[in-house]
Amino acid sequence: MTLRIDRVRVWLALLLGAMPFVTAGPALLAEEKSDSTETDAWRQDRERMVQRQIVRRGVEDERVLKAMRAAPRHHFVPEPRRRFAYDDRPLPIGYGQTISQPFIVAYMTEAIEPRSDFRVLEIGAGSGYQAAVLAEIVSEVYTIEIVRPLAEWAKERLAAADYGNVVVKHGDGYHGWSDHAPFDAIVVTAAAPHIPPPLIDQLRDGGRMIIPVGSPHLTQQLVMVEKDGEDVRTRNLMPVRFVPLTRTDE
Amino acid sequence: MNDMPARGWGSAVFLASVALIAGQIVLMQALAQAQGHHFAYLVISLALLGFGCSGTVLALGREWLLRASEWLLPALLLGTSVGMALGLGWAQRAAAEIDFHLLFVEWRPWIRVPGVVAGAFAPFFLGALALGLVFTREVERIGRFYGANLAGSAAGAAIGLGVLFLVPPERAIPLLAMFPAVAAWLGRPRGTRVRHRTFPRTGYGWAIGASACLLLAIGVFLRVPEAPMSPYKAMQYSLQLPDSDVVLDRPHPMGRLQVVTSPALRYGPGLSLHYRDDIPAVPHLYRDGDSYGAVVPPPRQGSHILEASVMALPLALRDPERALLLHGGGGAGAGLLLHREIPEVTAVEPHPIAARLLRGMHAPAGVDWTVETRDARAFLNRPSRHYDLVVLPVQGAFGGGLGLRSIQEDYLLTVESFERILGALREDGILTVSVYIDQPPRAGLKALGLLVNSLRAAGIERPAEHVAAARSWDMLTLVASPQPFEASDRSRLADFTGEHGFDRAWIPGFGPAPDDRRHVMQDDRLAVGVEAILSGDRQAFEQEYPFRLQTPRDNQPYFHQFVRLDRLDEVRRIFGAGSLAFVEIGSVVVVATVILLGVAAAVLICLPLLRLGWARGGRGPVFAYFSAIGLGFMFLEIVWIQRFTLFWGNPLYAAAGVIVALLCGMGIGSALSGRMPARPRFLRGILGAIVVVLLALLWVQPAFFAVALAWPEPVKWATGLLMIGIPAVLLGFAFPGGLRAVGRGYPAQVPWAWGINGCFSVLGAPLAAVIAMGAGFHVVGVSAAAAYAVALLACGRLRGHN
């Protein structure tokens, strides 16, 4: 019996002794990547993300893959969740908003078939990441965010990452940005119950808009809108689900 | 044990029963508001297991509990009061914080669930324990106390509904907590023979205890903050929009109605993509936080937004003079009809507050605008005139919802209902229903099938000539007429769809337009399905289709139920593994509730056997009898609520009427049972009569309703109440009669019997829903009679050889 108690004590001591290493280990490792600046570790994570989450799911456009490899996603994720930046999921960024799952960003970018001379409007800047991916490919990106602190965050992050071809505005994206219209493509990254007419209006003939439409708090369909003069056609691409977040972290 | 002061205890039982039933009703509303009806269903069912659990505790600690019963009864009632004042409110708050949808994906949200259930469980358990204690101790006078229990329950049902007219549920809960506090005072120990030292010997102590509980309840009532709401509620989304404001907030038992405004809250269902004007920001209505429509009155100038919606299709085909809008909701549809200056527009809206808002909608000069505050089915039972156009409410959600309504009966969307609508149309009148397009298509196909079946039931042989359909990128609009559509209608349909850029899903007498491919869906089976239902091999298509398209009837009124058990694998393939809960969460919840309750009931029923022993002593008959009458009663209550909803026309008041009449009748029966001979033959006779009466009513009621439907409302209510109340007197004999028999044969099993009855009564509700979804309400009714037949077989052996 004594022997058993002693063994228990030894195990307990070992466990308690090992505790600092067990808890500090991941923290030390994380610290290496916690800085938002580019490092090899982040680059490797990004490459892995592109291979495992994006190429494997069928995104083939080389320009999009290159942009996904280049845009530093971790730079657009707020600090407490930065280490999950390249995980296969959306992440909360505060104010009830999310940074979309990497695959969705790539998929939406590929769907508009971007070219280097494109002028693109993005509705719902959020963290600024989608704008950064677009800015890797096209010449001009205009992005609108309804939540002022997020608009400021996106502006600051995009500037810090040297995305000089992105213009951020705080406002209601429903009205689009008529000063810079028409746009070759419009990417809407916030769920809407319907397709806003001003956005169709500001789309160039032959232009494409991708928009998640449906119940904003439950499920949506990713819809491709194609404009050909007066004729406007739609194509449902895939179901998507945006999980609403409480605004406690505001 | 001294002789019990029966008068005080009778009143205490009455008041405690008032609180427990009213508490259930109010908590149901509170949880529905916080999270949704599906969640409320689950939590309430688990909380009500408190009744079964009380039987288990009583069976295990019978002697001690009976010895302490004089002070324990009021102490338990004080606990019930505190539990209601604090526990139920806390359960509502905690429920709002649970991410219900993630319960099916992650384990973390489950951490909060036991807390919610515990908060809701505590008062019901304590209250049920108090009632069980009285029944166990007073088994010879059970009829009197069970009668008080039933009468209190009937009063509680009325009070629970009544209080919701006045205050929101979070404020109603502390008001109800006062009842058990007063009950504790009435049930306090009398005389000087109370020996327990830790509890007061005199009435003063109990008066202080009861007063403290009353003060606590008043304090909670005065200080209770606004109840939170799940972020999944549509209203929460609207409240996050800039400058949003709640401009109207009214409590009501049919659901709390709130109106939200925001400059970014817009409304444009089925809108043409050719529409380039601004979509106006309009107030939105929410019932218990769920969308109830938008307020879109006729504009002072310009066109109404819905003119550019596919929903305007019937107005492109006809120029109606008299239109009827069923379940008008916020009034967007009414706004369009008024804007078109149709000479006579009638809206039928069951929610009185929504109806009042509709009534306030400005009608242009020369338009006769009427709003009827009634359920549509009640209105359709006796339509006073014929209409050129009948508009049904919009169904579904774009892309498909989560199946929240899959267990909700919808008597407007059944063949019988559509037959009445077709009967209320003029010769060339039009019935229209718009459905959001889901993926894969389900709701639209089911609505079309329903239309076709109803046309056939109305004697129309070639429905394909009587139906037209158009669709936008998000919505399918169906129209049907008793007369076949003509060439001029086909050309109007082409003009309308061409002008707005819609697709023609069905050209009457022709088929779908093959050149209309403006809006391409990921899953193209809508076109295939429309063609199969209208002109192809419908049966083969429906058999092959992975979703349930069976046409709903009054016996199985589940329009929103689509999942087929035999095709679950395919559903999993379509939506991904683990996603079934997101396709039809309502059905998943009801089945999960049955499983959870079944397991919990098995544990609660088996646990006392550790003490009572597993064999001998009439365990089988006691179990069979009390489980059968528990299930039978619940099945019967649910079938009658379904039937009287159709007869009386309003689901809420029908439920209240059935419960009150049933409990009052049973209360009388229970009170009479004490004066009746305690011979098994008598109980057998009563149970035999119950089986015969129930079976007879199952077949007689529909024929009676068909005749009586046109009678004046007060007569309908009076005859209906008698039709429930009289047989209920017989039902009132079953529980006290059985308990008395057990009390004489196996007294130690009295609390066990109470627990079994409690467990099976709770299990009965979700089980009835599962049976009704699978086989229809008629089978639930037959099951109720069968359950009483089982009780009949078991009752002879309740007394054993003692």
d(CA B610, CA B748): 13
How sure is the predictor about B358, in pLDDT bands with cuts at 50, 70 and 90? very high
Q: What pLDDT digit, counting tens, does each position of B241-265 carry? A: 778 899 999 999 888 999 999 888 8
Inform me whether the C-beta atom of residue B398 falls under 8 Å from chain A C-beta atoms.
yes
d(CA A145, CA B79): 52
Inform me whether the C-beta atom of residue B242 falls under 8 Å from chain A C-beta atoms.
yes
CA distances in angstroms from B437 to A220, B473, B477, B527, B530, listed in the order given? 11, 8, 10, 12, 13
**pLDDT at B370 exceeding the cut of 60:** yes
Select the more confidently predicted residue: A33 or A124: A124
CA distances in angstroms from A171 to A151, A246, B355, listed in the order given? 9, 22, 36
Cβ within 8 Å of residue A22, ≥6 positions away: none
Contact B269 A194 (CB under 8 A): yes
* Interface mutation vs chain B, best among A217, A224, A225, A249, most B CBs within 10 Å: A217
Q: What mean pLDDT comes out for the span A171-200? A: 90
Q: What mean pLDDT comes out for the span B547-574? A: 86
pLDDT at residue number A247: 35
Residue A146's CB is within 10 A of a number of other CB atoms, namely 21
Sheet holding B467-471, edge to edge: B368-372, B344-348, B322-326, B387-391, B425-436, B475-480, B467-471, B503-506
Residue B328's CB is within 10 A of a number of other CB atoms, namely 30
For chains A and B, what is the number of CB pairs under 8 angstroms? 109
pLDDT at residue number B592: 84
| Nearest partner of B496 among B268, B310, B279, B270, judged by Cα | B310
Q: What pLDDT digit, counting tens, does each position of B59-71 carry? A: 888 888 988 888 8
| Nearest partner of B434 among B384, B398, B482, judged by Cα | B398
- Which residues of chain B are within 8 Å of residue A196 when distances are taken between CB atoms? 279
**pLDDT at A7 exceeding the cut of 60:** no
- Which of A219-223, B106-110, B587-591 comes out lowest in average pLDDT? B106-110
**pLDDT at B278 exceeding the cut of 90:** no
Shortest CA gap B267–chain A (Å): 8
Contact B582 A225 (CB under 8 A): no
How sure is the predictor about B801, in pLDDT bands with cuts at 50, 70 and 90? very low
What pairing do the DSSP bridges indicate for beta strands B475-480 and B425-436? Answer: antiparallel
d(CA B108, CA B100): 11
How sure is the predictor about B799, in pLDDT bands with cuts at 50, 70 and 90? low
CB-based contact A138:A122 (threshold 8 Å): no
d(CA B230, CA A245): 10
Cβ within 8 Å of residue A14, ≥6 positions away: none
d(CA B256, CA B164): 9
**pLDDT at B451 exceeding the cut of 50:** yes
Lookup: tokens for B645: 């909803």
- Which residues of chain A are within 8 Å of residue B232 when distances are taken between CB atoms? 217-218, 244
How sure is the predictor about B105, in pLDDT bands with cuts at 50, 70 and 90? low
| Nearest partner of B287 among B377, B354, B376, B360, judged by Cα | B354
Chain A residues with CB within 8 Å of chain B CB: 96, 146, 172, 174, 193-198, 200-201, 213-221, 223, 225, 230-239, 241, 243-247
Contact B518 A219 (CB under 8 A): no
Please, what's the b/e burial string for B543-578 (b: 16 or more CB within 10 A of its CB; e: otherwise)? eebbbbbebbbbbbbbbbbbbeeebeeebeebbeee
d(CA B522, CA B545): 16
- Which residues of chain A are within 8 Å of residue B397 when distances are taken between CB atoms? 214-215, 218-219
Shortest CA gap A216–chain B (Å): 7
Share of chain B above pLDDT 90, in %: 45
Is residue B395 classed as helix, strand or coil in its secondary structure? strand
CB-based contact B217:B179 (threshold 8 Å): no
**pLDDT at B618 exceeding the cut of 80:** no
Taking all residues of chain B, what is their mean pLDDT, rounded to a whole number? 87
Q: Give the bridge partners for B425, in sequence order.
A: B387
CA distances in angstroms from B405 to B4, B182, B293, B368, B588, listed in the order given? 49, 39, 16, 35, 11
CA distances in angstroms from B44 to B47, B153, B229, listed in the order given? 5, 16, 18
Q: What mean pLDDT comes out for the span B281-299? A: 90
- Which residues of chain B are within 8 Å of residue A244 when distances are taken between CB atoms? 231-232, 236-237
Strands in B373-443 per DSSP E: 387-391, 425-436
- Which of A88-97, B595-604, B655-664 comes out lowest in average pLDDT? A88-97
By C-alpha distance, the chain A residue nearest B502 is A233
pLDDT at residue number A1: 38
Q: Give the bridge partners for A183, in sequence order.
A: A203
How sure is the predictor about A12, in pLDDT bands with cuts at 50, 70 and 90? very low
d(CA B33, CA B533): 39
Lookup: tokens for B134: 């009285």
In the block, tokens 């050129």 appear at: B388
Task: Please tell me which of the candidates B237, B273, B402 has its beta carbon nearest to residue A200.
Answer: B273
CA distances in angstroms from A22 to A19, B217, B411, listed in the order given? 5, 50, 61
Q: What pLDDT digit, counting tens, does each position of A28-83 carry? A: 444 445 455 567 788 899 999 999 899 988 899 999 999 999 999 999 988 878 88
How sure is the predictor about B93, in pLDDT bands with cuts at 50, 70 and 90? confident
Shortest CA gap A245–chain B (Å): 7
Helix/strand/coil (H/E/C) assignment for every residue in B459-507: CCCCHHHCEEEEECCCEEEEEECCCCCCHHHHHHHHHHHHHHCCEEEEE
**pLDDT at B554 exceeding the cut of 50:** yes
Task: From the candidates A34, A100, A127, A215, give the one annotated as an active-site residue.
Answer: A100
Q: Give the bridge partners for A220, in sequence order.
A: A214, A240
- Which residues of chain B are within 8 Å of residue A235 when distances are taken between CB atoms? 519-520
How sure is the predictor about B605, in pLDDT bands with cuts at 50, 70 and 90? confident
Q: What pLDDT digit, counting tens, does each position of B745-760 carry? A: 888 888 889 889 989 9
pLDDT at residue number B118: 85
* Interface mutation vs chain B, best among A107, A146, A221, A224, most B CBs within 10 Å: A221
CB-based contact A215:B234 (threshold 8 Å): yes
CA distances in angstroms from B540 to B496, B529, B543, B563, listed in the order given? 33, 11, 5, 18
Q: Is B221 left (phi over 0), alpha (psi -120 to 50) or beta?
A: alpha
Task: Locate the domains of chain A by residue range.
Answer: 88-249
The dihedral over CA atoms of A81, A86, A90, A95, expressed in degrees to the nearest 10, equals: 30
d(CA A184, CA A207): 5
pLDDT at residue number B323: 96
* Interface mutation vs chain A, best among B474, B520, B585, most A CBs within 10 Å: B474
Cβ within 8 Å of residue B386, ≥6 positions away: B322, B424, B425, B426, B429
| Nearest partner of B234 among B409, B407, B36, B26, judged by Cα | B36
CATH number for domain A88-249, candidates 3.40.50.10600, 3.20.20.80, 3.40.50.150, 3.40.50.2300: 3.40.50.150
Q: What pLDDT digit, counting tens, does each position of B625-664 carry? A: 999 999 999 999 989 988 898 888 777 788 888 988 998 9
- Which of A111-115, A188-192, B147-151 comes out lowest in average pLDDT? A188-192
| Nearest partner of B659 among B587, B734, B731, judged by Cα | B731
Select the more confidently predicted residue: B568 or B170: B170
* DSSP secondary structure code for residue B323 in this structure: E
pLDDT at residue number B221: 87
* DSSP secondary structure code for residue B653 in this structure: H
**pLDDT at B4 exceeding the cut of 60:** no
By C-alpha distance, the chain B residue nearest A240 is B399
pLDDT at residue number B780: 95
- Which of A131-140, A155-164, B208-217, B462-471 comes out lowest in average pLDDT? B208-217
* Interface mutation vs chain B, best among A186, A218, A250, most B CBs within 10 Å: A218
What own/partner pairs with CB < 8 Å and gap ≥ 24 does B545-552 have?
B545/B445, B546/B440, B546/B570, B546/B571, B546/B574, B547/B440, B547/B442, B547/B571, B549/B442, B549/B445, B549/B446, B549/B449, B551/B415, B551/B446, B551/B449, B551/B450, B551/B453, B552/B410, B552/B413, B552/B414, B552/B415, B552/B446, B552/B450
pLDDT at residue number A65: 95
CB-based contact B521:A236 (threshold 8 Å): yes
CB-based contact B55:B105 (threshold 8 Å): no
Q: What pLDDT digit, counting tens, does each position of B459-472 carry? A: 999 999 999 999 99
Please, what's the b/e burial string for A193-231 (b: 16 or more CB within 10 A of its CB; e: otherwise)? bbbbbbbbebbeeebbbbbbbbbbbbbbbbbbbebeeee
How sure is the predictor about A26, in pLDDT bands with cuts at 50, 70 and 90? very low
Element at B13 (helix H, strand E): helix B6-34
Write the DSSP string, chain A. -HHHHHHHHHHHHHHHHHHHHHHHHHHHHHHHHHSSS--HHHHHHHHHHIIIIIITTT---HHHHHHHHHS-GGGGS-GGGGGGTTSSS-EEEETTEEEPPHHHHHHHHHHT---TT-EEEEE--TTSHHHHHHHHHSSEEEEEESSHHHHHHHHHHHHHTT-TTEEEEES-GGG--GGG--EEEEEE-S-BSS--HHHHHTEEEEEEEEEEEE-TTSEEEEEEEEEETTEEEEEEEEEEE-----GGG-
Share of chain A above pLDDT 90, in %: 46
pLDDT at residue number B351: 93
Contact A194 B521 (CB under 8 A): no
Question: A204 — phi, psi (to 5°)?
Answer: -65, 150
Q: Return the top range by mean pLDDT from B113-117, B293-297, B570-574, B617-621.
A: B293-297
- Which residues of chain B are within 8 Å of residue A231 when distances are taken between CB atoms? 501, 518
Shortest CA gap B238–chain A (Å): 10
Q: What mean pLDDT comes out for the span B550-575? A: 85
- Which of B188-192, B247-251, B558-562, B648-652 comes out lowest in average pLDDT? B188-192
d(CA B132, CA B604): 15
ipTM computed for the complex: 0.73
By C-alpha distance, the chain B residue nearest A220 is B399
In the block, tokens 């369909």 appear at: A221
Q: What is the CB-side half-sphere exposure of residue B534 using CA atoms within 13 A?
A: 27
How sure is the predictor about B224, in pLDDT bands with cuts at 50, 70 and 90? confident
Q: What mean pLDDT comes out for the span B720-729? A: 94
- Which residues of chain B are within 8 Å of residue A213 when distances are taken between CB atoms? 398-399, 474
How sure is the predictor about B488, in pLDDT bands with cuts at 50, 70 and 90? very high
- The reply to whether A36 belongs to the active site is no
Residue B158's CB is within 10 A of a number of other CB atoms, namely 18
d(CA A153, CA B672): 75
Contact B520 A234 (CB under 8 A): yes
